[in-house]
Amino acid sequence: MKGSIFVKIFTSFLFVILLISTSIASFAVKRIKSHYIDTLSSDLKKISYPLSLSIKPLIEQRRFSELDSLVKSIGRETNIRITVIATDGTVLADSKKDPSLMENHGTRPEVIQALSKGYGETIRYSTTMQKKMLYVAIPLKTNGKIIGILRLSLFLSDIEHLLSNLSRDMICMILIITALSLLGAYFLAKGFSDPIRELVSVSNRLALGDFSAKASIQRKDELGKLASSFNEMGERIKKLFERVRLKQEELIAILSSLSEGLIVIDGNGRIELSNRSFDKIVGDSSQGRFYREVLRDSGLIKCVEKAVNEKRTVTKEVELNDKLFLISITPMVSENKFIVVLHDITEFKAIEKIKKDFVINASHELRTPLTAIKGYVETLEDEVQGEAKTYLKIIRKHTERIINIVKDLLTLAEIEEKGLDTSLKDIYLKGFLENVVKIFRPRAEEKGLELKFTAQCNPVIKGDPFKLEQVFVNLIDNAIKYTEKGEVSILLREENGYAVVEVIDTGIGIPKEYIPRIFERFYVVDKSRSRKLGGTGLGLSIVKHVVLLHGGKIEVESEPGKGSKFIVRLPVNS
């Protein structure tokens, strides 16, 4: 109750009312007192002038005894203290005291003012009467010469008594007004706080999930509108919660039906959510446990740690319970959580192996008869003349193309199966590329192309010389093959810890929509042109595999009609 809005409003009203009432009372008393004193001063001043006419002759004639009697007589009738003072401060007559017993009044403020300014007025404590008094003094002049001072005074006790009664009456009035104001403030504060208290109660019920709670405030002011809006908000929240509940149930159903294993790991490494497929993979319930307890494979745990530390998606193939899984760990952008998905690729890998084995076996089986066919065709070409020789050339051309395809298939299968040779060598790229470029100079000159090689540095990399030679042979071969005029340039430079080799041509270029697929097996942009030039559709696939095996990257920039640029980045020896 202490911090309630009712107490705050009521206390504020109380403070304001008391402040205003006190200020008005204080100001009124001061103004009344000031006005009353000003009025008395004016009255005393008016009385002093006619009185001075009776006093001046007695002073001139030095009839001080008669003067004192006159002053005392007038003082009794008017209840005003009258004092006549000589210019040297000697008291000549006084209506209350014996002037002979009174001290010199020359230093009194009102006397000094009357002598210097022609009129004196002051309120001070009287040492003679032992009371606070109001004094008014005027000079008594004859022929322009001051012969004395006439001083009139009144006791302020009468004024203070009057003001005391007035203050008491005002205090009573203020208390009555304050009581009435506070009564009004009470009802006003209550009328304001009760609806708010009801809204707080309803909001607490809503927070606890009671969406049937309604505010029953029937008013036409802003609080009534607030209650109406609050009830409408409650209805909307109810509908939203219902929608969220349905979505959550739908999501749980989807997650449960997924064949892929899925878990969500929180920032502390605890599994916050898991589906049935994941629990089936690990053979136990995993929700609420730490992922290290559940994922007992060291390779899998390292993948999760890498994703957590680097805050990026990590993908890797792992083996769990005699099955192969493609694991993907992805950080959630909005929260410090990670989604781990395990996709069973055992069957896919088995099919892939069957396909690879088939390609390898078929390639090996085709290699011998194709070589024999080529040999017989070459023999027949020497003996046959006329139109038959043309047919033999066509047979030889297509036989060579099939042999090249078989050769590339075997190369690709070998790269995928064996990877890189463990005994990698230091390769000085400048000399290495110069030797590759020399192979193609005669062919470039034959087509009228300028073949240029520029080396800005001589970086050293670790790699397989034979496989890397295949990379640059394929790239330069393609550049010359698809360039009819202009030049083919090879540029070697170093950038951010990578050796960068650019193979640039001024050939036909590649349309933008085909660039993402050019590294796929058997994919060619212009099939008729590729067949005509003897392309197999496997060269760029081999290039990409070799570059990736060396920890590098390959990019393509191309524009139809202007040429292409293949950029190979290989990590430099540190």
Mean pLDDT throughout 149-171? 78
Dump strand ranges (E) for 250-334.
261-265, 271-274, 314-320, 323-331
Mean pLDDT throughout 270-293? 79
How many whole angstroms separate alpha carbon 448 and alpha carbon 436?
A: 19
How many whole angstroms separate alpha carbon 101 and alpha carbon 59?
A: 19
Q: Are 110 and 151 in contact (CB under 8 A)?
A: yes
How many whole angstroms separate alpha carbon 291 and alpha carbon 351?
A: 31
3-state DSSP call for residue 474?
Answer: helix
What is the C-alpha R_g of the chain? Answer: 58
Q: What pLDDT is stored for residue 368 in this prediction?
A: 67
Checking if the pLDDT of 527 tops 50, the result is no
Asked whether residue 330 is domain-assigned, the answer is yes
Q: Do the bridges between strand 487-495 and strand 450-455 make them parallel or antiparallel, or are there none, so unpaired?
A: parallel
Q: Are residues 332 and 356 in the same domain?
A: no
Q: What pLDDT is stored for residue 172 in this prediction?
A: 83
Percent of the chain as helix, strand, coil, to the nearest 5: 55, 20, 20
Q: Are residues 392 and 484 in the same domain?
A: no
Q: Are residues 10 and 143 in the same domain?
A: yes
Asked whether residue 263 is domain-assigned, the answer is yes
Q: What pLDDT is stored for residue 174 in this prediction?
A: 78
Predicted confidence (pLDDT) per residue in 540-557, tens digit: 777 888 888 888 898 989
Checking if the pLDDT of 535 tops 60, the result is no
Q: List the single range of 41-45, 61-65, 333-337, 473-477 with lowest mean pLDDT.
A: 333-337
Tally of domains in the chain: 5
Alpha carbon 417 to chain centroid distance?
51
Task: Let me know the angle formed at the C-alpha of 106 by 103 and 110, rounded to the nearest 5 degrees.
Answer: 110
Please give the residue that has the higher pLDDT: either 369 or 143.
143
Please give the residue that has the higher pLDDT: either 445 or 226.
445
Checking if the pLDDT of 562 tops 90, the result is no
Output the CA torsion sign for 383, 385, 391, 397: positive
Q: Do the bridges between strand 460-463 and strand 498-505 make them parallel or antiparallel, or are there none, so unpaired?
A: unpaired
Predicted confidence (pLDDT) per residue in 245-265, tens digit: 888 777 777 777 777 888 888
Mean pLDDT throughout 479-495? 89
Q: What pLDDT is stored for residue 57 in this prediction?
A: 87
Q: Are 327 and 300 in contact (CB under 8 A)?
A: yes
Q: Are residues 408 and 375 in the same domain?
A: yes
Q: What pLDDT is stored for residue 570 in this prediction?
A: 92
Q: Are residues 10 and 103 in the same domain?
A: yes
Query: H or E element: which one contains 503?
Result: strand 498-505
Categorize the per-residue pLDDT at 1 as very low, low, confident or very high, splitting at 50, 70 and 90.
very low
Task: Let me know the angle formed at the C-alpha of 408 by 395 and 369, rounded to the nearest 5 degrees.
Answer: 45
Q: Are residues 354 and 337 in the same domain?
A: no
C-alpha dihedral (518, 519, 522, 524), degrees to nearest 10 = 20
Q: Are 178 and 186 in contact (CB under 8 A)?
A: no
Strands of the sheet with 261-265, listed across from one edge: 271-274, 261-265, 338-344, 323-331, 314-320
Mean pLDDT throughout 13-20? 79
How many whole angstroms separate alpha carbon 195 and alpha carbon 218?
A: 10
Q: Are residues 45 and 66 in the same domain?
A: yes
3-state DSSP call for residue 495?
Answer: strand
Q: What pLDDT is stored for residue 411 in this prediction?
A: 63
Checking if the pLDDT of 149 tops 50, the result is yes
Domain that holds residue 223: 209-251
Predicted confidence (pLDDT) per residue in 197-217, tens digit: 777 777 777 777 776 777 766
Mean pLDDT throughout 356-374? 66
How many whole angstroms separate alpha carbon 450 and alpha carbon 60?
A: 143
Give which of 431, 549, 451, 566 is closest to 501, Cα–Cα.
566
Checking if the pLDDT of 280 tops 50, the result is yes
Categorize the per-residue pLDDT at 500 as very low, low, confident or very high, splitting at 50, 70 and 90.
very high
3-state DSSP call for residue 120?
Answer: strand
Asked whether residue 175 is domain-assigned, the answer is no
Categorize the per-residue pLDDT at 489 as very low, low, confident or very high, splitting at 50, 70 and 90.
very high
Tokens 């009802």, residue located: 187
Q: What is the CATH number of the domain that holds 424?
A: 3.30.565.10
Asked whether residue 333 is domain-assigned, the answer is yes
Count of residues in the chain: 574
Neighbours of 550 (CB within 10 A): 22
Query: H or E element: which one contains 200?
Result: helix 156-207
Categorize the per-residue pLDDT at 533 as very low, low, confident or very high, splitting at 50, 70 and 90.
very low
Mean pLDDT of the chain: 79
Instruction: Tell me which range, 216-220, 305-309, 528-532, is most confidently predicted by mean pLDDT.
Output: 305-309
Q: Are residues 423 and 334 in the same domain?
A: no
**Burial of 274: CB neighbours in 10 Å, binned 0-12, 13-18, 19+:** buried
Q: Tell me the whole-structure pTM to 2 decimals.
A: 0.42
Q: Are residues 563 and 491 in the same domain?
A: yes
Q: Are 415 and 467 in contact (CB under 8 A)?
A: yes
Q: Are residues 9 and 139 in the same domain?
A: yes
How many whole angstroms separate alpha carbon 533 and alpha carbon 536?
A: 9
Q: What is the CATH number of the domain that holds 67?
A: 3.30.450.20
Tokens 């290989």, residue located: 570
Asked whether residue 466 is domain-assigned, the answer is yes
Six token digits for residue 191: 């009328």
Output the CA torsion sign for 263, 265, 269, 274: negative
Q: What is the CATH number of the domain that holds 384?
A: 1.10.287
Checking if the pLDDT of 501 tops 70, the result is yes
Q: Are residues 423 and 566 in the same domain?
A: yes
Q: What pLDDT is stored for residue 530 in this prediction?
A: 45
Asked whether residue 36 is domain-assigned, the answer is yes
Predicted confidence (pLDDT) per residue in 93-143, tens digit: 988 888 888 888 888 888 888 888 888 888 887 776 677 788 899 998 888
Torsional class of 300: left (φ above 0), alpha (ψ -120 to 50), beta (otherwise): alpha
Checking if the pLDDT of 422 tops 60, the result is no
Checking if the pLDDT of 171 tops 90, the result is no
At residue 311, φ and ψ (nearest 5 deg) are 55, 45
Categorize the per-residue pLDDT at 491 as very low, low, confident or very high, splitting at 50, 70 and 90.
very high
Q: Are residues 448 and 504 in the same domain?
A: yes
Listed residues 416, 436, 458: the one ending a domain: 416
The rounded percent of the chain whose pLDDT value lies above 90 is 6
How many whole angstroms separate alpha carbon 490 and alpha carbon 483?
A: 14
Six token digits for residue 151: 């001083």
Asked whether residue 168 is domain-assigned, the answer is no
Q: How far is CA 279 from CA 59, 100, 271, in A?
A: 128, 123, 12
Mean pLDDT throughout 276-290? 79
Q: Are 230 and 195 in contact (CB under 8 A)?
A: no
Checking if the pLDDT of 443 tops 60, the result is yes
Please give the residue that has the higher pLDDT: either 572 or 4.
572
Instruction: Tell me which range, 180-189, 276-285, 288-297, 433-442, is most confidently predicted by mean pLDDT.
Output: 433-442
Asked whether residue 489 is domain-assigned, the answer is yes
